[in-house]
Chain A
Amino acid sequence: MHELPPLSVLARAAGGEPARLPTPALSLAERRDAGFVRLSVDLKRDADLRGGIEAVAGPLPGPNQWSERALWQGPAEWLLASAPDAAQALAARLQSGFDGRAALANDATDGLVVIEVSGPGARDRLAGGTGVALDPAPGRLALTRLGDVRVTLLFDGPDFRLIVERSLADYLWSWLSR
């Protein structure tokens, strides 16, 4: 459906390359190869839907956990990873299995921006904006506020990934690189 190449949200000119800021202390990089499906389903109420969802999207991680295939977003919400152009098809496939139940799968690729934060200064920079403990914790994520912006913070080895709403990505990038 989406025949356009994904554009950089953070480019300062149309059609630019994904934004990068490599400095010795702090390295920032915008990832444009990440697609997402936002899944809303209350698996306490509709427990029988889990099997069908996990058959398509893989195991759904528990609270504050993430895997390369799925990220926890709340008691009844997940982000499922996909290739950017495959998200819509994945959403449609999941939705068709819900059979009129209270569940919703939507392509969320365009609404989210992923920023990789790495380097020896990464932790201190993030610690200036969030009260979350930043010790390496593979597979952990935190829904938190970073410099007044709501983010999903993924612990990725010694590094971090931030998932932020598209509209706030430009501000967050400026905040991180100030």
Chain B
Amino acid sequence: MSGYRLSAAAAPAAQIDRSRPIGFRFNGAAYRGYAGDTLASALVAAGVSIVGRSFKYHRPRGVMGTGFSEPNALVQLGTGARTTPNLPASLVPLSEGLEARSVNCWPSAAFDLGAVNDRLSPLLVAGFYYKTFIWPSWGAFEPFIRRAAGLGRSPALADPDRYEARNAQCDVLVVGAGPAGLMAALAAARAGARVMLAEADQRSGGGLGLGGARVGAGTARDWIAEVEAELDAAANVTVLGSTAVTGYYDHNLLTAVQEVDEPGLRQRFWKIRAGEVVLATGALERPLLFAGNDRPGVMLAGAVRTYVERYAAAPGRRMVLAANNDAAYEAAFAAARAGIEVAAIVDERPAPGEAAARAADALGLRRVHGRIMRAIGARGVRAVEIVSAAGTEAIACDLVAASGGWTPAVQLFSQSGGLTRFDEALGGLVPDRSVQRERSCGAAAGVFALPACLAGGAAAGAAAAQAAGFEPPAIAVPEAEDHALAPAAPLPPVPAKGKVFVDVQTDVTVADLQVATRENYRSVEHVKRYTVWGMGVDQGKLSGANGVAVLAAVQGVSGAEMGMTKFRPPFMPAAFGVLAAARPNGALFHPWKRLPAHLWHERRGAVFEDFGWLRPAYYPLAGETMAQATAREVRAVREAVGLLDASSLGKIEVRGPDAGAFLDHIYAGPVDSLPVGGVRYGLMLNELGAVFDDGVVARLAADHFLLTTSSAHAAAVLAWLEDWRQGEWPMAVVIQDATSQWATFTLSGPRARKTLAAAGTSLDLSPAAFPRMTIRTGEVAGLPARVQRASFTGATTYEISVAARSAERLADALWAAGAPFGLQATGVEALEVLRTERGAIDVGIDTDSTTLPGDLGLPFGGKACDYLGKRSLTHPAASAPGRKQLVGLQTLDPLQTPPVGAHVIGGVPHPSQGVVTSSQFSPTLGRSIALALLTDGRSRLGETVQVWSEGRVWPARVTGLRFLDHADA
């Protein structure tokens, strides 16, 4: 508990608002922070040294980094439905009433029983679960392992927050608003390009915003404010703060998650299509490798500086800086200026940069050329052990600021497909060759000196604007002090007693990487998966470069030869809710399609179901069940007349001199021989001969056909026809989808003709003038109409189509006309019974992707011309035994109705011989009827089989498909 809040005098440049205190709770205790704090900085300032427990060993851990670079302080935020697991506390802005808990500890972070794992660590080496949990079987251990694995808890309730999707386009997208990114945005904006600038932090400026560096005439802060003002004022610039770019995909599509401060709206998911991209993503600091480098109190040097200068949060009282680069010295200077005692600067290098050394000496700081070997202390650092020319020395301290140099953040660049190069001097990857329209600048490109970052950013922004077609004006790059973040090579692994962590988040040590190498895991990708190095929430942001360095040293190769694991999106953890933001939840989750006469059905009391369209399933009278209503509707069609809305059936017009020939190629049956006014049932097959759709074709004129497809397949049939027309057969034919133009009602039943006549029609309805399977054009109820005689139910049927706007008028007219004849409105439930009684198939329900026409008992092969699927039907497999064929089933107990999906059992070698595809209770026959795809079914008529579902068995007789004779006169 050594952290504390610095006074305003000690941290004059801090960006917190001391006039706005904020109360929050962490692990049940109440704390206070200030506006501008993150949860991590507030915890540091509150002296909370143990913020969580480690993944495997449950070692106590403290805040180590800032921003994306925080491996330890993973918190479960909020409670109940609003809980979010595994958020780095350094990314959580402090807000009033915020409630957070540590993950992966029980009963508490301060006292965690899981810490016994730390004592058992010799058993828990890399790949331990592959080796240990083999006997008697993995399955015996799996439930316990699963319980122990993972970090936070996912919410058990539905997410009450709202997420919003937003698409955007721009000429130049700049990722990162540090010095390079700001200059790039400025240069592109002045060229007139539409610019978007995304910055993950709430503030822009990156590391430049911290100290007192001078840029141009004023301070760095002044310069940042100036640039911000210019960008904000520019109409062609969109600045997205608190917006982390999470993915870089093909064709310059980038995704970003924006934190939104609006009631009820939590985050916004951006999909940004950019002409050019400038990656100014900065660099990530590497930890140092020494024993106990995970102890609370060991922090990244850059993080120490940030907490002190930006948040006025002192992480300790007595500090040792251990580093191998000049930039890290800033942490010691910042600490010293803030009144934190700096016990020593331990530098790996014999001679630090001149400026750094001078500044250290000016502040009277002790400098040692040596190396840190060990941090001493379990629940917090008490001292460090260093080795120098003078020998081994212990220095008392409660804070270790460690820096192993900086690695360019090439994650997004790598995701873009760009090729990286291992820079030995830098000890990390740098962008080498772009694949997409993208350029990196600043620290992301391995450039660390401030003047070079500013110039590089300006050049990248100008080049991006130019590539996007704009003429960039010359832009003055401000003079700047060289805050050289001199690159530093990573340290070789330190041979020392105790655990040296490479990946503190997943508890992977140098010893684990050594074990993996000894066991011949050589590729970085294999080692990663074997040891879980880099597989934590931070995806190796801290551990990647050090891991490669260790493996390279252990294997005796160079870092370049070792390579790096693949970077994948998302760059940071993202809630599922925000990834799915484009799709609304609840009622709007999936589009519904409404029939033209939807309101008419509502008034008739219809119960709607989504069959692709919202269609009436049945029309219950008061007190009726679905089965009762369906039975009544079926009886009406068999004994009187039923009215069904068939507007959802696909209606496709095909016209042109080659229309007949075209359809002959499409359908398995003959089409071109159809006379004008004729209607024919047809099957469409795919190239494999399998049934794709069935429907009827009507010939309206010599060169003009109307196809009626099943409701569910209308879109697929249209695409299928267009595919063959546009891509395969250069025939003189055009195709139009007319489905939504028309409303279609069918009158079906022995009194259909009388009803239609009573509604008033210009058509001669006598069977001789208007027989089955013909189409006529005329008037019905005073409306222009197409009337087609084709029956799905087996009863006399007229399909009447009128313009969609007249749907209700037609329905009203038929309703009134049919009343004296016992007309009932019929829904899809009744239609399913009716068509099953007649043995009419429903393609996709009674067929699968292997069903050939012969399997349905439908003739084929009689047509001379070529058609789709013809060749496949002549293949021996098409007529070989063992095919699944559609048959009828009648249970021996007529009142038992087996469910769809029930199996016909008793087969060899597999017990299932087939599946029930349709199953209904027929009120007409007073018994259950079913259709089934049965192995060799068509040669098994009369056989008694066993139908099984979920432990119940029904004996049933195999029959033909037709349960009821046709009555369509």
Contacts and interface: CB of A to CB of B under 8 A. Distances in A.
Interface in B775-819: 784, 803-806, 808-809
Given A40-B734, A107-B803, A175-B584, A167 B595 contact: yes
A91 to B, nearest CB: 11
**A-B interface, 5 closest residue pairs, ranked by CB to CB distance from nearest:** A102-B656, A111-B740, A111-B741, A110-B804, A167-B593
B736 interface: yes
11 contacts: A1-B784, A104-B653, A104-B736, A106-B653, A107-B741, A109-B803, A110-B803, A167-B593, A170-B594, A171-B593, A175-B588
Contacts of A124: 166
Interface stretch (A21-29, A52-60, A62-70, A125-133): A125-133
Contacts of A171: 588, 591-594
A133 to B, nearest CB: 4
Kindly name the residue among B271, B591, B653 whose own CB sees the greatest number of chain A CB atoms within 10 A: B591
Contact of A130 (B167, B593, B653, B804): B167
B655 interface: yes
A32 B521 CA distance: 70
B594 A101 contact: no
Contacts of A131: 167, 169, 271, 273
Interface string B698-711: 00000100000000
B487 to A, nearest CB: 40
B593 A110 contact: no
B167 A6 contact: no
Interface of B is mostly: mixed
Interface of A: 1-2, 4, 6-7, 12-14, 38, 40-42, 45, 76, 100-104, 106-112, 124, 127-133, 147-149, 165-172, 174-175, 178
Contact of B736 (A4, A100, A101, A106): A106
B192 to A, nearest CB: 14
Contacts of A168: 591, 593-594
Interface string B732-746: 111110111110000
Contacts of B703: 100
B287 interface: no
Nearest to B779: A1
Interface string B577-594: 000001110011011111
A147 to B, nearest CB: 8
Given A4-B806, A6-B805, A102 B736 contact: no
A178 B584 contact: yes
Interface string B162-175: 00111111000000
Contact of A42 (B590, B734, B739, B806): B734
A166 B736 contact: no
A174 B599 CA distance: 16
Contact of B740 (A2, A149, A165, A175): A165
Nearest to B741: A111
B212 interface: no
Interface residues of B, number: 49
B808 A128 contact: no
A101 B734 CA distance: 9
B656 A101 contact: yes
Nearest to B599: A14
B736 A129 contact: no
Given A111-B741, A129-B582, A102 B657 contact: yes
B596 interface: yes
B613 interface: yes
A76 B741 CA distance: 20
A2 B803 contact: yes
Given A104-B653, A166-B596, A167-B740, A128 B166 contact: yes
B936 interface: no
Contacts of A2: 784, 803, 805-806
A102 B809 CA distance: 34
A1 B594 CA distance: 25
A149 B584 CA distance: 13
B476 to A, nearest CB: 30
B369 to A, nearest CB: 57
Nearest to A76: B734
A42 B584 CA distance: 39
Contacts of A45: 732
A164 to B, nearest CB: 10
Interface in B150-180: 164-169
Nearest to B166: A127
Contacts of B806: 2, 4
A111 B804 contact: yes
A128 B741 CA distance: 29
Interface in B640-677: 648, 653, 655-659
Contacts of B598: 170
B600 interface: yes
Given A111-B738, A165-B740, A167-B648, 7 more contacts: A6-B805, A40-B736, A111-B804, A124-B166, A129-B165, A168-B593, A178-B588
B734 A103 contact: yes
Nearest to B589: A148
A95 to B, nearest CB: 9
B166 A41 contact: no
Contacts of A40: 655, 734-736
Contacts of A107: 741, 803
Contact of B613 (A100, A167, A175): A167
A52 B588 CA distance: 45
A136 to B, nearest CB: 13
Nearest to A107: B741
Nearest to A148: B591
A178 B164 CA distance: 12
Contacts of B803: 2, 107, 109-110
B49 to A, nearest CB: 44
Contacts of A167: 593-596, 613, 648, 739-740
A128 B740 contact: no
A102 B164 contact: no
Contacts of B657: 100-102
Contacts of B613: 167
A12 B599 CA distance: 8
Contacts of A174: 587-588
Contacts of A178: 584, 588
Contacts of B594: 167-171
Contacts of A132: 167
B591 A106 contact: no
A7 B600 CA distance: 13
Contacts of B169: 131, 133
B707 to A, nearest CB: 13
B130 to A, nearest CB: 44
Contact of A127 (B168, B735, B784): B168
Contacts of A76: 734
A38 B736 CA distance: 8
Contacts of A128: 164-167, 582
A130 B271 CA distance: 10
Nearest to B600: A14
Interface in B582-620: 582-584, 587-588, 590-596, 598-600, 613
Nearest to A14: B599
Contacts of A111: 738-742, 804
B952 to A, nearest CB: 40
B557 to A, nearest CB: 45
Nearest to B268: A128
A45 B657 CA distance: 13
Contacts of B808: 7, 14
B167 A127 contact: yes
Kindly name the residue among B590, B600, B734 whose own CB sees the greatest number of chain A CB atoms within 10 A: B734
Contacts of A102: 655-659, 732-734
Contacts of B738: 106, 108, 111
B732 A101 contact: yes
B655 A103 contact: yes
Contacts of A129: 165, 167, 582
A155 to B, nearest CB: 14
Contacts of B599: 12-14
